[in-house]
Structure 1
Amino acid sequence: MKVVIIDNEKGMHLIMKRMLGKVNEVEIVGSFQETSTAYSFLTNQDVDLIIMDINMPKESGLEFAGPLRESSRQMKIVFVTSHKEYSLPAFDVFAFDYIVKPVNQARLHRTVLRALSEMSSVKGSVELDSSSIRVLFNCLGGMEIRNAKNELVKWKTSKSAELFGYLLIHKGRLVSRARIIEDMFDDMPLKNAETYLYTTVYQLRKLLDTYGLKDSLHSDSNYYALELNHIDVDMLQFEEGYKQIAVVDDIHIEQALALEQLYAGDLFGDRAFHWAWSEVERFRLMYTAFTQRLCRALLNRGDTQTAIRLLTKLTAHYELDEETIKLFMKSLALQNNKVALMRQYLHYTETLYQELGISPSPIVTGYYSQLLAELDT
């Protein structure tokens, strides 16, 4: 399937390319930051799928799609945008799908597979390669497991899901039965806990066996471990990428943007496993530090638009971090947006008082005053 990407943010091109690269049947034949050059390319090329942002600088994606449809071109159009209110107008121009940013790997994968499925009915069957990765596990911002075709798999029980996550954070290391019982079943008598653990292990192994991964759940006398060779985990991808990109500069900035996209929220989402609290906090701090480094690099490059998008996401999770609010204010000041700068500082001040009963530190207050003075000169 031939795909074209149209988005005025250069960073989104790399993000989409990396996500689409996980589907073997996809060939990216073009990527454009302007609709005019994209249209010239499309009039002379056969393309199956267009993935484009609605908010383009000179011509919106909706305006671009109209003439494209009138020309009777049959390519499918998937709109990607930060604004939910465009969904109905998008389908007025016969959009194949509509995805709200930040784009989730699973969501995009599902759309592409649906497009491939429709094409297969015309061009013949499309067989997806699932020889290497058989299970996809997303635990940043939630807790879901999917098969190689990106279909959502139903957990046997909530405890089997918890056990999967528990063994996952131990990254293939053997964990004693006694420790698992202490961490996961400490609210019941030992005999009952042992029986419950056996049942949970059986349920998890049965689920994995559906995908030929029964042996991925190892048991050795009184120990258990989860083998991860055939399981694609967003948490592990993010941590590995974080280690590899020690410095975010012009050379690594596109790679860093793609990595940031993996973080959809706290580890395991709203499942408050007490045994995972330290890992949740570790990933939260890792993401915060990484995004701050990325935003500094973006501001140095003059890309305030992307920096503000990332800082908006970051403050939605951790809105009281001083370094984050300073970067946010700096981004708004670089756009000469005094009103937004004042609004952001006021919101931070009110939230800080409501949550902690304190006022901003002299460092934040002084920096805010400095930015205002620079805008007034």
Structure 2
Amino acid sequence: MKAILVDDEQMALDFLEHLLREHNDIEIVDKLTNPLSVKENVKQTNPDVVFLDINMPQVNGLELAEQILEMNPNIQIVFVTAYDDYALSAFEINALDYLLKPIQKERLKKTMKRLAQNSSPVTEHSSRKQDRLLLSVCGSFSIKKENGETELVSWRTSKVRELFHYLLHNKERLVRKSLLIELIWSGLDPEKAYAQLYTAIYHVRKALKHYPDYFKLENMTEGYILSTQNVDIDMELWQQKLEEAPPITQQTIKQYLEAMEYYTAPYFDDYDYWWAENDKIRLERLWYRTAMQIAKVYYSVSSYDKAKEWYKRINERYPEQEEVHFSLMKLYSFINETEKVDEQYLSLKNILQTELATTPNPEITSWYKQWKKYHM
């Protein structure tokens, strides 16, 4: 079993080497006091295990471990630290073990036993590369395969989930670590916040290991870049199809109906992400405009049932939009569903009074009073 030892203190390295020499099943391929050279060394030597000091002046050991696991997720990490406070973070990043300085022989024996038990390589599931994945960001997040099977991703914590969602929100772009700290861990002191970030990144990688042909998460020193391939996102497909569609008419309405099937709920609506709010509002407005256009086209070609269906659908989603209520009132009047006109006006009046403490637009009230004269 090949091992690399990393510690900024030469005496600590020599002492660990001395203890490990008593174990015949381990080969020390290098000892490093400069943590900045570790990644290159890992590339060259391909070790089975890295004994890594957490508290080094040049780089955080937790971050370095995350970078090592990015290169090769099968490498075992054993943290070495003088502070027991790091133990929880060490295990969060899936370290095999952690050793407290000064290292005791008996404690090291337990670590070596764990290494022997975990030395067999892990075989990760790989989806077929030719398949495409459809990611849903409407409402809650899910992954749909080409065979129609839907998978819900299990996240370690809500912060890990939000981290991935924000990286996906900014896919193919660098997201700075400092921004992620401010966004998700603003209440913690910097040292703890960065430790949380590194462990969360590890758990994102762990979740994405089931889809190796589709996601790539790169550590770019100052931040992270999430890239995708063979992946579609329902919200993006919806926008793309609307942009590519010709002006909506009776002849082209089918393209709009097909596009609207992709938009099933507002953007990340099941989560309280303030950073998604602007896009959520923009996309909801686009859905509203498109849905109103569809209803108006159906009305113009005398497809009153379909027009009513769409107006009611919009009304359920936006009960405070007076335009929709008014359109339904005029449609009910035209098809002689007089009771529905009264119901719709009273519904509008009650909603505006209850939610906004206001009254319907004077134009709507005037139309209703005129209509009422002839339908007493």
TM-score (norm 2): 0.60
The whole-number CA distance in structure 2 between the counterparts of 1:214 and 1:286 is 29
Quote how far apart the aligned CAs of 1:221 are: 2.0
Alpha-carbon distance, 1:352 to partner:
0.8
Structure 2 residue matching 1:227: 3-state secondary structure: strand
Counterpart of 2:143, as a letter, is I
> What runs of 5+ residues in structure 2 fail to find an aligned partner?
1-126
Deviations 1:46-88 (Å, cap 9, x if unpaired)? xxxxxxxxxxxxxxxxxxxxxxxxxxxxxxxxxxxxxxxxxxx
Structure with bigger RCO (C-alpha 8 Å, 6+ apart): 1
Shift of 1:365: 1.9
Stretches of structure 1 that go unaligned for 5 or more consecutive residues are 1-128
1:304 — aligned with what?
304
2: CA distance, partners of 1:132 / 1:329: 51
2-side partners of 1:132 and 1:353: how far apart?
Answer: 55
Q: Which has the larger radius of gyration?
A: 2
Structure 2 distance, partners of 1:293, 1:280, is: 20
* 2:63 aligned residue: none
Matched length: 248
**C-alpha distance 222-261 of structure 1, shift in aligned 2 (>3 A):** same
Q: Is the 8 A contact 2:214 2:231 kept in 1?
A: no
* Aligned mate of 2:143, from 142, 145, 151: 145
Aligned residues of 1:330 and 1:371 also touching (Cα < 8 A): no
CA deviation map 1:102-121 (0-9, x unaligned): xxxxxxxxxxxxxxxxxxxx
CA RMSD across the alignment? 2.5
TM-aligned CA distance change 1:300 to 1:214, over 3 Å: closer
The alpha-carbon distance between structure 1 residues 228 and 340, as it changes in their structure 2 partners (threshold 3 A), is farther
After superposition, residues 187-266 of structure 1 pair within 5 angstroms as: 187-213=187-213, 215-245=215-245, 247-266=247-266
* Cα separation, 1, equivalents of 2:371 and 2:216: 55
For the 8 Å contact 1:265–1:317, the answer to whether it is kept is no
Structure 1 residues 295 and 214, CA, compared in 2 at 3 Å: closer, same or farther? closer
2:141·2:152 contact (CA, 8 Å) conserved in 1? no
Mapped partners of 1:198, 1:221: distance in 2:
12
CA distance in 1 between partners of 2:291 and 2:370 (Å) = 24
The 3 A distance-change label for structure 1 pair 162 and 145 is farther
Q: Give the percent of matched residue pairs that are identical in Structure 1 and Structure 2.
A: 24
- Residue identity matched to 1:296: K
Normalised TM-score (structure 1): 0.60
Tell me by how many angstroms 1:370 deviates.
5.4
State whether residues 216 and 228 of structure 2, in contact with CA within 8 Å, keep that contact through their aligned partners in structure 1: yes
- Cα 1:321–1:255 change in 2 (3 A) is same
Where in structure 2 are the equivalents of 1:111-122 lying within 5 Å? Answer: none
Please name the residue that 2:49 is paired with: none
The one-letter code of the counterpart of 2:134 is: L
User: Which residue identity is paired with 2:252?
Assistant: H
Q: Report the secondary structure of 1:140's partner residue.
A: coil
Deviations 1:270-291 (A, max 9, x none): 2111111111111111111111
- Aligned residues of 1:133 and 1:232 also touching (Cα < 8 A): no
1:135 aligns with 2:138: no
The residue number in structure 1 matching 2:155 is 156
**What one-letter code is carried by the residue in structure 2 that aligns with 1:152?**
E
Contact 1:136/1:231 (<8 A) preserved:
yes
1:94 aligned residue:
none
